[in-house]
Structures are given as C-alpha cells and as structure tokens.
C-alpha cells in the first residue's frame, strides 16, 4: 500500500475531532462531512488565487485570470464561497516577520532621534498585504467591481460567527473607502426621461417609502420633484445612493400629500423649500462607506443654482427606532413624569393608577387619539426626548437622526400622523420629524453634537421639559 493510500485509509477511519483548520484541509486527501470544497478543489482554488497576484504577470493577464476565478466562484454554493473567503483572508495576509522587522527599525530610528522617513516607508510597505493586490486585480475587469461589492454583501452576515473573515472584510471596506471617495463620484439627476432600467432600480432600491407602481414613481419624478444619485464610473448605471426631493412653499408635515399620485404638480415659481423625504443606499456591500452627507451638500448646491428662491432645506424623516426604545423605557419615562400628568393619564385611561403596560396598550391606535389627549401629549414629549436627548457613545440613538445630525442638521419639528402607513405606525406610531439644514449653522450644530448636546429647535426643547 502506498503512502497516499495509507493516509487516505487513516483519514477515513479517524474519529472526527471538530472542524479542521484551513491548513489541515489543504494538506488532506479526503473531504470530511460538513466541509464544502474537497482538499483537491481547495488547493486548486488557492493555486488560481495565487496566480492572480503573480508579479511576473501583466496587469491584463492578471485581470483575465481574476475574471476566470470570479466565474468559478459564481458556480459555488454558499459553503463553497465561504471556503474562498477563508482562503483570501488567511493565505494572503501580510508577512508577520517583515512587519516585526520593519516595526523594530522604525522604533529604533525614533528612539535614536534619527530621520524615520525611510523606516516609516518600509513599515508601510510591510503592512500592505498580498490580499490587497489580489482584490485590486479582481477590480480590473468590467464586472470586477460588481463582483467585489456582492462578495462583501454575502460575507457581512457571517462576521460574528467566523472571525477568520474579519481581515478580508476590513480590507474590502478600506479599499472601497478609497475607490468610492466622493471625489470619484458623479452626481446625476434621475428623471422620467432616464432609461427605464434605471427607473426600475429606483423602485427596487427605495428603502424608506416603498414605490407601489409606475404611476407612483412618475409622481416622484414630476416637474416639482427632483431625484439625484451618486454614480461611480465603474458602475455607470447603478446609483450608489439616491435622494428624493419635493419643492414646496412650506416645510411638509406629512408624507401622504407627497406620495399622492393624483395631486397636481406644484408651482415651481412659488417654491421656497426643498424637502428631502427619502434617502436610500442601494449597495449593502458598501456598508460603512459614507457618501450620504456629501450627496446632500451637492444636491443643496445644485438646487440653489437652479432655484435661487429656495431658502429652506429640510427633511421629512421617519423615526425607525422610536417604538423599540419606548417599549424598553416606558416605565422609566412614566416614573419621571410629574404627578399632575400621571393623574391626567390615569383619568384618560379610566384607571386609578397608570402603569407602563396600560400606557403602551393605549398607544396601539395612535391616530384615534385627539389633539388634547394626555396620552398623545405624553407620546410626543417622549419622542422629543428620544430625538433630542438620548445618546449612546456620544451619538443619537435613532439611526436616521444620527445621519442628519451628524451632517449638521437640527431636530426641528415633530409631526403627528406624518406617516399613517402600517410601516409608519409600526416603527413610530405614525410620527415623523423634520430635520432642518440651516446652512449658516451646520458647523455650530456639529460642534454641539461633538460636545454631547443634540441641536434642537425651541419647539423641541420645550417638549423635553
């Protein structure tokens, strides 16, 4: 019996001792139950990946080989793709010995007070991993950028359970942050005259207010509306993020009129206010790459040039975290409510004493509450506190608030029944909020937020008392 045969026999009768490491699988002969790629296929994939970063290859040939690997990857199931991720992450890491040596030289130069420029260059080069070169060569092909974005989208949900993938994901995010810098993005208006394929993508990617029909999307692209998106030259027909804007003569307090397909287009000669009512990121694989703030700034500049009468720039925004926060904090909020208001709540509910579960049940039909209802007033005050006071790690709790306030906006106004849709009622009892972009105070508002103070209007400030 040959050596390989004996090893195969040994592997077949050896009792499993848990998952094998990548190194063990690459050296093995047989695939164990639960493993995706066989050792032979795993070695073949590693060889193909290594060929892509071969320094002897021209960029064109390396790109061609990367495209071939991408095609092979597309044919794999989810477990097979995970094996490829692990190969990329573990077998294309930077050389730890080179890093240690370069770090020692850099530290020694600094300690001796010598010029450390060259030592720093060596350290930087040592930190660059073969993985970065591998990913860069994948990006060269016509479909390469799309391949990498989709790969990261697939990979993201697995990070918590498999820490081996963290390095690959971090490398992708770093490269995307460079490749998708706003300096390389093009702002384009999307109109009813845009290609149908592009308009279909608006329908597919709209994340705030679902687009129900072609009549709906036509209304959002009407003459009194504007829609702008950021595009990358390597993905010319794919909006990375887009914003929908209504041009009005007032700050809107509800989404229903804006989505009314039968409403006549507004008079642009009277427009003084731009309302940003939907902002949607389209690429999950670009999560963590920030260009939303730059989009708003560019759109404000573009609108100001086209419509000099525009003086007010505000949002009509959802409050997606409100209900979840209130469910967790209703008891504490009720405890902090003064005795007079607690008594009013008890009388309104017909109870001798109001408890948090009673109060939460009374909010299940929020649109039926009258304007002077103590329950309604309590909810509005709680919402003002949520948006105007609650921080975690120095940042607003609500994700939409975090985005706009981080861009320099302030919490301007709460709107009861602003979104009466099932989604709006489920996430925020139908409440919506206006964030105001006061162009003269953006830096001031950012400074306040950096100091742990959320910028709010007088109206919101009064509701927090």
- Residues taking part in catalysis: 317, 404
Tokens of 91: 């077998």
Cα angle 434-285-82, degrees, rounded to a multiple of 5: 145
Cβ–Cβ contacts within 10 Å for residue 75, how many?
8
The answer to whether the CB of 366 falls within 8 A of the CB of 376 is yes
Find, among 87, 94, 96, 99, the residue nearest to 165 by Cα. 87
SS (H, E, C) the chain: CCHHHHHHHHHHHCCCCCCCCHHHHHHCCCCCCCCCCCHHHHHHHHHHHHHHCCCCCCHHHHHHHHHHHHHHHHCCCHHHHHHHHHHHHHHCCCCHHHHHHHHHHHHHHHHCCCCCHHHHHHHHHHHCCHHHHHHHHHCCCCCHHHHHHHHHHHHHHHCCCCHHHHHHHHHHHHHHHHHCCHHHCEEEECCCCCCHHHHHHHHHHCCCCCCCCHHHHHHHCCCCEEEEEEEECCECCCCCEEEEEEEECCCCCCCCHHHCCCCCCCCHHHCCEEEEEEEEECCHHHCCCCCHHHHHHHHHHHHHHHCCCCCEEEECECCCCHHHHHHHHHHHHHHHCCHHHHHHHHHHHCCCCCCHHHHHHHCCCHHHCCCCCHHHHHHHHHHHHHHHCCEECCEECCHHHHHHHHCCCEEEEEECCCCCCHHHHHHHCCCEEEEECCCCCHHHHHHHHHCCCCCECHHHHHHCC
The answer to whether the CB of 415 falls within 8 A of the CB of 253 is yes
Spatial CB neighbours of 272, under 8 Å, sequence gap ≥ 6: 248, 249, 250, 309, 310, 311, 312
């Amino acid at each position: 019996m040959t050596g390989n045969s004996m090893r195969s026999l040994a592997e077949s009768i050896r009792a499993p001792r848990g998952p094998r490491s990548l190194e063990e699988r690459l050296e093995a002969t047989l695939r164990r139950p639960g493993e995706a790629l066989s050792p032979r296929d795993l070695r073949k994939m590693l060889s193909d990946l290594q060929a892509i970063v071969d320094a002897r290859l021209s960029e064109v040939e390396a790109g061609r080989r990367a495209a071939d690997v991408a095609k092979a990857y597309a044919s794999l199931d989810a477990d097979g793709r995970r094996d490829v991720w692990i190969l990329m992450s573990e077998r294309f890491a930077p050389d730890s010995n080179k890093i240690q040596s370069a770090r020692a030289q850099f530290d020694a130069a600094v300690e001796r007070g010598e010029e450390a420029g060259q030592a720093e260059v060596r350290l930087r080069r040592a930190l660059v991993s073969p993985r970065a070169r591998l990913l860069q060569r994948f990006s060269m092909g016509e479909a390469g950028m799309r391949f990498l974005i989709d790969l990261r989208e697939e990979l993201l949900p697995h990070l918590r359970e498999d820490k081996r993938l963290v390095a690959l994901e971090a490398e992708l995010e770093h490269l995307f942050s460079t490749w998708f810098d706003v300096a390389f993005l093009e702002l384009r208006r999307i109109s009813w005259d845009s290609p149908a394929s592009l308009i279909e993508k608006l329908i597919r990617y709209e994340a705030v207010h679902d687009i129900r029909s072609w009549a709906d999307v036509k209304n959002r692209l009407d003459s009194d509306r504007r829609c702008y998106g950021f595009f990358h030259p390597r993905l010319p027909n794919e909006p990375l993020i887009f914003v929908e804007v209504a041009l009005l003569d007032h700050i809107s307090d509800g989404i229903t009129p804006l989505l009314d397909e039968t409403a006549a287009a507004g008079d642009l000669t009277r427009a003084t206010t731009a309302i940003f009512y939907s902002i949607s990121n389209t690429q999950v694989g670009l999560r963590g790459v920030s260009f939303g703030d730059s989009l708003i700034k560019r759109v404000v500049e573009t609108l100001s040039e086209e419509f000099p009468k525009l003086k007010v720039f505000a949002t009509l925004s959802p409050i997606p975290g409100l209900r979840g926060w209130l469910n967790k904090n209703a008891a504490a909020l009720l405890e902090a409510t003064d005795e007079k208001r607690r008594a009013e709540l008890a009388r309104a509910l017909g109870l001798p004493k109001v408890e948090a579960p009673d109060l939460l049940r009374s909010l299940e039909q929020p649109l039926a509450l009258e304007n002077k209802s103590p329950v309604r007033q309590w909810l509005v005050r709680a919402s003002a506190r949520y948006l105007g006071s609650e921080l975690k790690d120095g940042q607003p709790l609500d994700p939409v608030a975090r985005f706009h306030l981080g861009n320099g906006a302030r919490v301007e106004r709460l709107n009861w029944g602003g979104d009466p849709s099932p989604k709006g009622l489920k996430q925020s009892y139908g409440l919506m909020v206006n964030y105001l972009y006061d162009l003269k105070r953006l830096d001031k508002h950012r400074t306040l937020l950096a100091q742990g103070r959320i910028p709010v209007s007088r109206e919101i400030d009064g509701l927090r008392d």
